[in-house]
Homo-oligomer: A and B are copies of this chain.
């Protein structure tokens, strides 16, 4: 099985590649080669049983499609995106990369299908986002709730979901759209995303640092670990598509918790000293932004198709500690 990972240098992309390298297979089928593509130079995982080629190219560049498809991959993981904040700040760049870049790749696959080399209908696993939903919401969002995004990023993801479904219906490829919950705990330095505190209130105390919590403890949100995100993508790559039908985009299972529940889980895993490091500094701007975000999903369809996420926030914290080799601060 030949695999292409588009957006291989991002946080989820790197973890996906590490997992592919360590498993050497997807759902029992051996990976024979991988091509890693990103606008930032991707790096080859250290121990890997299959050949890996790395290429640095923007998904929206004219030749990106033919480079991604050169070896006619069986599975394409499409993770490349301009992130939410940047897509909002730079309208043209967001649409250029997140919409035109994705569509150009979809069209390149379609055109490869018609070529003299014969049928070509790869599995395309597309990472979408719960940002396709915009307030007001019901308390719990079900699988048939409509997409009314309130950001350009969410709009671009919702449009790509529609394209993915139509191109799949037309049999140009076999698309599966994976709507990721907010990923928590994100490793690395704090970033300035409005959602950053959901991770930093866990990650920073474990490192002996003092994160700022800008919202009330009662704020509820919907999370999955990076480990679960990778498992979603791999499951989508091997899913029996006869069970999917025409509706190709799935809200992933996740864990709906309040900030208070996050903090209690941190106490259970790392003790009172850790949670004492969290500094409460209410920030009206962030509170207003977060108030427009979904709080809870009933991801029944994805669950029935075998997608699995954590059901206890302590497991999300433990996954972070294990996967990032965190030595707990005293």
Q: Which A residues are closer than 8 A to B by beta carbons?
A: 91, 134, 144-150, 152, 155, 158-159, 162-163, 165-166, 169-170, 246-247
Contacts and interface: CB of A to CB of B under 8 A. Distances in A.
A97 to B, nearest CB: 15
Contacts of A149: 162, 165-166
A161 to B, nearest CB: 9
A138 to B, nearest CB: 8
A155 B165 contact: yes
Contact of A170 (B91, B147, B148, B162): B91
A114 to B, nearest CB: 11
Contacts of A134: 246
Given A158-B162, A162-B159, A163-B155, A147 B150 contact: no
Contacts of A159: 159, 162-163
Given A159-B159, A170-B91, A246-B134, A165 B148 contact: yes
Nearest to A147: B146
Given A91-B170, A150-B169, A155-B163, 17 more contacts: A134-B246, A144-B146, A145-B146, A146-B146, A146-B147, A147-B147, A147-B162, A148-B247, A149-B162, A149-B166, A150-B246, A152-B166, A152-B170, A155-B165, A159-B159, A159-B162, A159-B163
Nearest to A245: B136
A165 B149 CA distance: 8
21 contacts: A91-B170, A134-B246, A144-B145, A144-B146, A147-B147, A147-B162, A148-B165, A148-B247, A149-B162, A149-B165, A149-B166, A150-B169, A150-B246, A155-B162, A155-B165, A155-B166, A158-B162, A159-B159, A159-B162, A159-B163, A162-B162
Contacts of A247: 148
A159 B165 CA distance: 12
A194 to B, nearest CB: 17
A240 to B, nearest CB: 19
Contacts of A165: 148-149, 155
